[in-house]
Structure 1
């Protein structure tokens, strides 16, 4: 037996980040390259908010504003995390429930996920990481990692709480050929990950038994296992765990519903039509959407999610849902996952204003024929009623070219020309410092980003202090618009400091609360990605549920396989035709695909047999956003995440406007 020295092991590049409860707005450090030193450690508290801003803050999720001379919360992360893997970690890692047995992790490497890949393992590069049917120690497969251009990385993680205070040993078998590799076995505690040890392996070895030992501290949140191969080839097989010398039982994999459960699904799923919605809703048949009305009930906010931002069927189905909710539920406010100034421009069009609708959403995921049809319908509907539809936006923006800044300059030039240079300084600085929603955090620019944030806060404070002057020169509506736009700019300056995930969702939840205050008594449709509207830990849907309870209803959308529109990488232009292969046996989508047609399922009815399998954690694909991610899978409780789900077996690409 080969025992590897593992007193402190580093799960570099893969372990999910677990935010400290004492640092709720902390974000991962995403450095360029393979940096091996932490950026910082987590501070114990967030700097205090300026007292003058108290009345302007709505909702308990507004992070503390940073006064001049303070610094942002430091980063609770260790090493560079690939952005995609961090995103999955924040969803997958934090949704694992506390259990006395280990949730299924595929330690034996004998359960197949996507073609020739181990189910439930996160894989960095699919070109060189596969299940090997020929070279194996025992069972059906081994995990083969062959370094290609950038090396190989694969791993898993789970909740560490059941094993706090115990000695956990990971054992297994490896075989290598001219390999340089690192075994990774680590705990991620409450405040930071250690980041100061790893277990290297080099050379050529026949099948060799190994063990790695960890003393699990009382602060541990996650346990993470992985293997990184920088050159050569390595095989891994037959992993197992013990705690204080006793075997840790691994739960069996869910391999899909049995015959009785599948029969229940088919009997309770309501058929849906996904054809393009009729321009005149009064003549359309919407009887298939009656179950939607039952789920929505008396909810004030209705989240309509989408598993991708580029599925034709999602757009057409959601347009029909919006038309149904307008007709049957009296919905009048439509909140879009878009920044405020962009949404206000679109709203001017649907109110009957001038402009070419084809150009209104250029540069966004909404620049599609399907969304254009929805906008034209909203404009047409508004011509028939005095109780008009309103479109608004609750997102922060996607790059530093914020259209809010242009409007702010126009209003300031009217009221206070001498202050215009302050706004222009912020615009110049933000244009110089790279901003993009999903860009990695660049610790080398922290001072620049903090300076931008301080400038934005100073400008907002100035407008609040000069309320009398601005309300004298502007209408009440214009002054409120000015405050709202500067607030959104200030929110956006936090993206490169706190990251694009829980921080962004907190801000969007706060903005939706502000919209609800702006339109008292009106029901609001919230159009966004499943990850935002769903009750994922720390995300917008969970925060809204905590505050609104049954006043927030959420419908997710999912698909089995097909094509979709997205960018090939972060920040790259959208293209049609990206392929998403069928989900594997044991996933929610594979089970749903057996129904054979689009359907709507009320998940509030899944608390008892034979539907209870939908009320426990399962694998699902809900992470395709603006860029391709067809293999990214999270594990979650579907009946907790959504009140209902609409499913289409096949996705086709949304049609981009030229």
Structure 2
């Protein structure tokens, strides 16, 4: 019985999503050339090869030594006394069931490998357990090589203790000398993964696309009332609507979000828009849409996020200003982000300058010598004092943003992201409390924030509000996007969307030959056939932040509670139109 749930087609770059036997160009989730290192570079964005070295090691593709093909990977050790080691790894995106038998092998050659801890060996890893920090799947091969050895195949076998979503195959080398690695091979219950494709055959693919078609709707003439109607048909107590974006710099996404907001305001009684932006930096924006005061171009520039400095967003702001002129039920915009970089300290200092006590304390926050722990304590004490003395709401919001920015800045990596998102969810919750019983609000942010994934803002909102939180994400297939160049740090509109992955929702939506599609993913996830034949697989979707990147796809968890309620697919797109 096959225990492999999914891996991308490893031998071909198309066909796995071809309908009616028509091939479609797409990238496999995993490049089979990675197994034998027949790559142009080790840094190729189309491979899952990675490596970890320090000053004691060098690593490169070697065309002079190989077991077959034309290349291997050579690792050179420079220090016989090194206590570190070099790691060459392949990350294989594959679902493996508990109790499956794994056999992993690789060919290794060594030349004058010596030193106290000199060794070349094989390692297999799976997911790290979040609760214990350990790896349920973690094993070293028993055979090791030292000195000078000709090409030798080393093998390890293991039984999977828990379900795995990916595994990491690694060659390790320590000491002085050189080791070459070539031709990784992986078998699950005797089946070589190179022979496994995303779908069993075209019949299964056709059944999947036919079944999924029940949950897709062609969006005609940018008519987004379909989305509005879906939200209306949900629990009547829906309070928060998350509107995402697959990239921060796509014109069509911002236009669709703008049109959707207009529809939701007219049809669904949306009265507030929470932006992935600083509260202090959006105060002038809110004043503009309420009173028409200020220079809009300067206001948008001062938000501090280039993604709002676009013609698409500018047109929405002007529409909101004109709408507010005609209604007593005013639309309000508020920033809910908490990362450092806003104007909270500057504005709070200005607004509390007559309060000698607060002004004196704020001076401590301006000193570079003040430790982050002290800044957290001081800013929080200021916030609590302002709340107790019933200060103006804007002053309290300035102080809260300042306190949150210091709090989140003490963390790094995934912890930073999680804390930042938890604070966004907290701030959104405060905005929601101000809504009348029949009102709703928009949460405007990236797909990664609005998604219902645990530790994302959408995950926190989903946990608290359940069906009262609805989210809409985006899928992009072709085109260009605006982003900050990772080398020059300049904003650039000439960035390409990479070829879609064969295992992406974008590629699957492309089979229907519609320019724009609404996917009711919430309903599709409840379909028994799709749950067992599509959503149990390692699907991916495009996700790009503020920086230009070659790594444009992220995995989608098949748990319905962590997904999107609706997804809007756009076949061809263009970069955001930046304000000149």
Q: Under a length normalisation based on structure 2, what TM-score does the superposition of the two structures give? A: 0.74
Distance 2:429 2:228 in 1: 28
- 372-381 vs 323-332, which moves further: 372-381
Secondary structure in structure 2 of the residue aligned to 1:225? strand
Query: Which residue number corresponds to residue 386 of structure 1?
Result: 328
Secondary structure in structure 2 of the residue aligned to 1:428? coil
Alpha-carbon displacement from aligned partner over 1:510-556 (angstroms, at most 9, x marks no partner):
22112212335331111111111112232222221121111011111
Whether 1:406 aligns to 2:342 is no
Q: How far does residue 146 in structure 1 lie from its aligned partner after superposition?
A: 7.6
- 326-335 vs 405-414, which moves further: 405-414
Whether 1:599 aligns to 2:517 is yes
- 327-336 vs 625-634, which moves further: 625-634
Query: Which residue number corresponds to residue 156 of structure 1?
Result: 92
Query: Which residue number corresponds to residue 219 of structure 2?
Result: 272
Q: How far does residue 456 in structure 1 lie from its aligned partner after superposition?
A: 2.6
> For 1:361-440, what aligned pairs fall within 5 Å after superposition?
361-362=300-301, 363-364=304-305, 365-397=307-339, 399=340, 401-414=341-354, 416-429=355-368
Ranges in structure 1 where 5+ consecutive residues have no aligned partner = 1-98, 276-284, 433-447
Alignment check: 8 A CA contact 1:102 1:248 kept: no
Root mean square deviation of aligned Cα: 4.5
Secondary structure in structure 2 of the residue aligned to 1:461? helix
> For 1:519-538, what aligned pairs fall within 5 Å after superposition?
519-521=435-437, 522-538=439-455
Q: How far does residue 157 in structure 1 lie from its aligned partner after superposition?
A: 6.5
Alpha-carbon displacement from aligned partner over 1:285-309 (angstroms, at most 9, x marks no partner):
6555554444655211111111111
Q: How far does residue 403 in structure 1 lie from its aligned partner after superposition?
A: 0.6
Alignment check: 8 A CA contact 2:48 2:91 kept: no
Distance 1:426 1:209 in 2: 61
Distance 1:498 1:583 in 2: 26
**Larger CA Rg, structure 1 vs 2:** 2
Alignment check: 8 A CA contact 2:102 2:186 kept: no
Cα 1:311–1:241, aligned 2, differ >3 Å: closer, same or farther? Answer: same
Query: Which residue number corresponds to residue 261 of structure 1?
Result: 208
Query: Which residue number corresponds to residue 56 of structure 1?
Result: none
Whether 1:104 aligns to 2:6 is yes
Distance 1:618 1:238 in 2: 21
Alpha-carbon displacement from aligned partner over 1:132-163 (angstroms, at most 9, x marks no partner):
9x99989xx99965889x99753236789935
Alignment check: 8 A CA contact 1:129 1:145 kept: no
Alignment check: 8 A CA contact 2:495 2:548 kept: yes
Query: Which residue number corresponds to residue 224 of structure 1?
Result: 168
Alignment check: 8 A CA contact 1:563 1:652 kept: yes
Aligned pair partner of 1:633 in 545, 554, 565: 554
Whether 1:578 aligns to 2:495 is yes
Query: Which residue number corresponds to residue 505 of structure 1?
Result: 421
Aligned pair partner of 1:464 in 384, 393, 397: 384
Alpha-carbon displacement from aligned partner over 1:292-331 (angstroms, at most 9, x marks no partner):
4446552111111111111111111111111110011010
Query: Which residue number corresponds to residue 171 of structure 1?
Result: 104
Query: Which residue number corresponds to residue 408 of structure 2?
Result: 492
Alignment check: 8 A CA contact 1:291 1:602 kept: no
Cα 1:179–1:536, aligned 2, differ >3 Å: closer, same or farther? Answer: farther
Query: Which residue number corresponds to residue 47 of structure 1?
Result: none
- 606-615 vs 379-388, which moves further: 606-615
Distance 2:501 2:165 in 1: 29
Cα 1:249–1:624, aligned 2, differ >3 Å: closer, same or farther? Answer: closer
Cα 1:479–1:492, aligned 2, differ >3 Å: closer, same or farther? Answer: same
Distance 1:159 1:585 in 2: 16
Alpha-carbon displacement from aligned partner over 1:582-636 (angstroms, at most 9, x marks no partner):
2133322111111222011212332236644454334222321111234333143
Aligned pair partner of 1:312 in 233, 247, 251: 251
Query: Which residue number corresponds to residue 645 of structure 1?
Result: 567
Whether 1:656 aligns to 2:560 is no
Cα 1:358–1:232, aligned 2, differ >3 Å: closer, same or farther? Answer: farther
Distance 1:116 1:177 in 2: 32
Secondary structure in structure 1 of the residue aligned to 2:367? helix
Q: How far does residue 355 in structure 1 lie from its aligned partner after superposition?
A: 2.1
Cα 1:356–1:160, aligned 2, differ >3 Å: closer, same or farther? Answer: same
Q: How far does residue 647 in structure 1 lie from its aligned partner after superposition?
A: 0.3
Alignment check: 8 A CA contact 1:456 1:486 kept: no
Whether 1:125 aligns to 2:43 is yes
Q: How far does residue 458 in structure 1 lie from its aligned partner after superposition?
A: 2.6
Distance 2:543 2:147 in 1: 38
Count of residues in Structure 1 that have an aligned counterpart in Structure 2: 513
Secondary structure in structure 2 of the residue aligned to 1:637? coil
Q: Under a length normalisation based on structure 1, what TM-score does the superposition of the two structures give? A: 0.66
Cα 1:268–1:175, aligned 2, differ >3 Å: closer, same or farther? Answer: same
Whether 1:238 aligns to 2:185 is yes
Distance 1:220 1:493 in 2: 33
Ranges in structure 2 where 5+ consecutive residues have no aligned partner = 15-25, 36-40, 50-60, 77-85, 114-119
Distance 2:360 2:480 in 1: 48
